[in-house]
Each structure stands twice: as structure tokens, then as C-alpha cells.
């Protein structure tokens, strides 16, 4: 199926590895001109070679204003970001008592304020051209809390409110806003969280972890011309992990 996004410009954050890198590769396959961003320059160079991304920028999304700085440069250079994918490193795990104010604030910047300020900066050019696709990588924790992932359980939920609020404001301008909720997907993140793969697969109806590529196909479709009537949605790619409606 031709997704009709050849030559569109995409900016994918958190794309030097894991889900973001897979999304970048998938969009490149569709003929999209993809720009990737993350903190580590060396990993970005490697990811550019592996994915075929045309440009890359270092950014630290835990620093206020750093995301918008990149968006401004890209809008200046390429005219607009047509397909915007907000994504960053996941928060540390921990129960309520483990988390102090400093960590709450850092992760608020990382998971909530960074997508807000990135989208705010990219939106005017999308509105001008009356076309845009905004995709937020969040987590199944936005819909169903996971014990010990307190920060994720709290902050990801807030982004769903952003999806519902913003999507209604911009739908008539041919701009869609959707959240993608990864379930347990085989990336470095699962290693960092010390996930017991065998145990977790027992809780997933598909009885296996997802692959970054499976998640990336969802992103490419939602980022496409053909998904123009899908907006304000929170779509999980989780092998059936979420049990609720
Ligand atoms: N994999 C899963 O099973 C799963 C499930 C649910 C939700 N998620 C969420 O989905 C997101 C992506 O997960 P993933 O599995 O792809 O993780 P990952 O493999 O650890 O990749 C994270 C990416 O984000 C970049 N990054 C990390 N901190 C950053 C920062 N402060 N500023 C800019 N870039 C930053 C990393 O590159 P640098 O280190 O070079 O910056 C890397 O490119 C995370 O928020 C994660 O919590 C993942």
C-alpha cells in the first residue's frame, strides 16, 4: 500500500535506538525525508547509516527549550516538519516513596513539557500548509498502571489529555494528533528496567514481546496521508496486554 507520504519531512525524537530508530527506518522506506534527534552524537551517526535518515541533531529533552531549538532549525532548513514524532527515554522505575521532587520535575520536563513545547514550535508551519501528523510515543501505562512504574503511570496519562484537547483544535486544518502506546517491546529499555522476559510473556496474550518494527509500522500508517481521518486516538501495539476497553 502506498502511504502517499513520499518526500514529506519527518522529525523523530529519541531515534538513535529502539522504537524511535525503528520509526525512522520505517518512514524512510516510505520515501519520507527523515531527521532524527537524540543526545548521543555517535549513536546518531550510526542510526543515520542504519536507517537512511538525511539529517540528525543532538538534543537533551530533559533541558527546557532544547526540543524547540531543534524544531526551529528544521523549520528554517526544510520549511516545515510534516510528520512529528515526540519520544524520549523512559523514566526510571520506582515506587511512590522512591521519587523525590527533583526526579518528578526532571521527568515532567522529559515526558510532558518536552512534547508540549516541541509541538507548540512545530504547529504554526503545519497550520500554514494545512497538513500535519503529530504522533506521541507514550506507553500502555497511560491506560493501565504497572506496579513500580509510578512516574510513567502518572505522567503518561496527562499526555492523553493533550491528545484529546489538541486534536479537536486542529482537526479542521488537516492535522491529526494521536498517541501510540507501546506494550513490552524488545529494546534496550527492557534491559534497563531488568524485565524478566519469560514472566512478562506469560502476561501477554500473544505470549511474546513486540518488535520495534511492528510498532514502527503503526507509526508510519498514522503518519500517512491515508490515516487522515484518524485523530485523537490512543492506539496500543501490545500483543493484547491491555485488558480494558
Ligand atoms: N520498549 C518498551 O517496551 C516500551 C514500553 C512502553 C513504553 N516505552 C517508552 O517508549 C519510549 C522509547 O522507548 P525505547 O524502548 O525505544 O527506549 P530506548 O531503546 O532506551 O531508546 C530511547 C531513545 O531516546 C533517546 N533519549 C533518551 N533520553 C533522552 C533525552 N533526555 N533527550 C533526548 N533523547 C533521549 C535515546 O538516545 P540517547 O541516549 O542517545 O539520547 C534513544 O534514542 C520511552 O519513553 C519508553 O519508556 C517503551
Distance 192 CA to ligand 1 centre (A): 10
Confidence of residue 225 (pLDDT cuts 50, 70, 90): very high
Report pLDDT digits (tens) over 176-199: 999 999 999 999 999 988 999 999
The residue to which cell 517491546 is assigned? 185
Which residue has its alpha carbon closest to ligand 1 atom 23? 14
Residue 148 domain boundaries:
9-184+212-236
Confidence of residue 103 (pLDDT cuts 50, 70, 90): very high
What is the domain-level CATH number for residue 43? 3.40.50.720
**Is 199 inside any structural domain?**
no
* Contact status, residue 156 vs residue 138, Cβ threshold 8 Å: yes
Point out the ligand 1 atom lying closest to the alpha carbon of residue 61: 32
Please tell me whether residue 109 adopts helix, strand or coil conformation.
helix
* Residue-averaged pLDDT of the chain: 97
Distance 2 CA to ligand 1 centre (A): 29
Distance 160 CA to ligand 1 centre (A): 19
Long-range pairs, 142-148, Cβ under 8 A, ≥24: 142/179, 142/181, 142/234, 143/181, 143/234, 143/236, 143/242, 143/244, 144/242, 144/243, 144/244, 147/95, 148/93, 148/94, 148/95
Confidence of residue 21 (pLDDT cuts 50, 70, 90): very high
Which residue has its alpha carbon closest to ligand 1 atom 46? 90
pLDDT at position 80 is: 98
Point out the ligand 1 atom lying closest to the alpha carbon of residue 183: 5
Distance 91 CA to ligand 1 centre (A): 9
Q: Report, as an integer, the average pLDDT of 25-53.
A: 98
Q: Report, as an integer, the average pLDDT of 124-147.
A: 98
**Is 25 inside any structural domain?**
yes
**Is 244 inside any structural domain?**
no
pTM, full prediction: 0.98
Q: Report, as an integer, the average pLDDT of 81-99.
A: 97
For the chain, the domain total comes to 1
Distance 189 CA to ligand 1 centre (A): 7
Point out the ligand 1 atom lying closest to the alpha carbon of residue 140: 6
* Contact status, residue 12 vs residue 70, Cβ threshold 8 Å: no
Nearest to 86 by CA among 53, 55, 56, 122: 122
Confidence of residue 216 (pLDDT cuts 50, 70, 90): very high
Distance 39 CA to ligand 1 centre (A): 11
**Is 2 inside any structural domain?**
no
* Contact status, residue 9 vs residue 82, Cβ threshold 8 Å: yes
Taking CA atoms, 172 is separated from 25, 84, 163, 166, 238, in Å, by: 30, 18, 15, 11, 30
pLDDT at position 52 is: 98
Which residue has its alpha carbon closest to ligand 1 atom 25? 14
Distance 18 CA to ligand 1 centre (A): 7
pLDDT at position 4 is: 94
Distance 89 CA to ligand 1 centre (A): 3
Which residue has its alpha carbon closest to ligand 1 atom 45? 90
**Is 190 inside any structural domain?**
no
* Contact status, residue 210 vs residue 182, Cβ threshold 8 Å: yes
Point out the ligand 1 atom lying closest to the alpha carbon of residue 40: 40
Report pLDDT digits (tens) over 109-124: 999 999 999 999 999 9
| Percent of the chain whose pLDDT exceeds 70 | 100
The residue to which cell 514481546 is assigned? 209
* Contact status, residue 84 vs residue 90, Cβ threshold 8 Å: no
**Is 103 inside any structural domain?**
yes
Confidence of residue 54 (pLDDT cuts 50, 70, 90): very high
For ligand 1, residues with CB inside 6 Å are 14-20, 38-40, 43, 59-62, 87-90, 110, 137, 139, 182, 184-185, 187-190
- Please name the residues in contact with 59: beta carbons below 8 A apart, sequence gap of 6 or more: 13, 37, 38, 39, 66, 67, 69, 70
Q: Report, as an integer, the average pLDDT of 86-109.
A: 97
Confidence of residue 214 (pLDDT cuts 50, 70, 90): very high
**Is 109 inside any structural domain?**
yes
Amino acid at each position: 500500500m502506498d502511504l502517499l507520504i513520499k518526500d514529506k519531512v519527518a522529525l523523530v525524537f529519541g531515534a538513535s535506538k529502539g522504537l524511535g530508530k525503528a520509526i525512522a527506518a520505517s518512514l524512510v522506506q516510505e520515501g519520507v525525508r527523515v531527521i532524527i534527534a537524540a543526545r548521543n552524537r555517535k549513536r546518531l551517526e550510526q542510526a543515520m547509516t542504519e536507517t537512511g535518515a538525511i539529517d540528525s541533531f543532538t538534543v537533551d529533552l530533559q533541558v527546557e527549550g532544547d526540543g524547540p531549538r531543534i524544531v526551529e532549525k528544521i523549520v528554517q532548513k526544510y520549511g516545515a516538519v510534516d510528520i512529528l514524532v515526540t519520544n524520549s527515554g523512559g523514566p526510571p522505575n520506582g515506587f511512590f516513596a522512591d521519587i523525590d521532587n527533583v526526579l518528578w520535575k526532571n521527568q515532567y520536563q522529559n515526558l510532558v513539557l518536552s512534547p508540549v513545547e516541541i509541538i507548540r514550535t512545530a504547529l504554526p508551519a503545519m497550520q500554514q500548509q494545512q497538513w500535519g501528523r503529530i504522533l506521541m510515543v507514550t506507553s500502555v501505562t497511560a491506560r493501565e498502571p504497572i506496579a513500580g512504574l509510578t512516574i510513567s503511570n502518572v505522567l503518561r496519562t496527562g499526555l492523553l489529555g493533550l491528545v484529546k484537547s489538541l486534536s479537536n483544535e486542529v482537526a479542521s486544518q488537516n492535522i491529526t494528533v494521536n498517541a501510540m502506546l507501546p506494550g513490552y517491546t524488545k529494546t534496550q529499555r527492557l534491559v534497563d528496567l531488568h524485565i524478566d522476559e519469560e514472566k512478562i510473556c506469560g502476561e501477554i496474550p500473544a505470549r511474546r514481546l513486540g518488535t520495534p518494527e511492528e510498532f514502527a509500522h503503526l507509526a508510519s500508517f498514522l503518519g500517512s496521508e491515508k490515516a487522515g481521518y484518524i485523530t485523537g486516538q490512543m492506539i496500543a501495539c501490545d500483543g493484547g496486554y491491555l485488558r480494558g476497553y
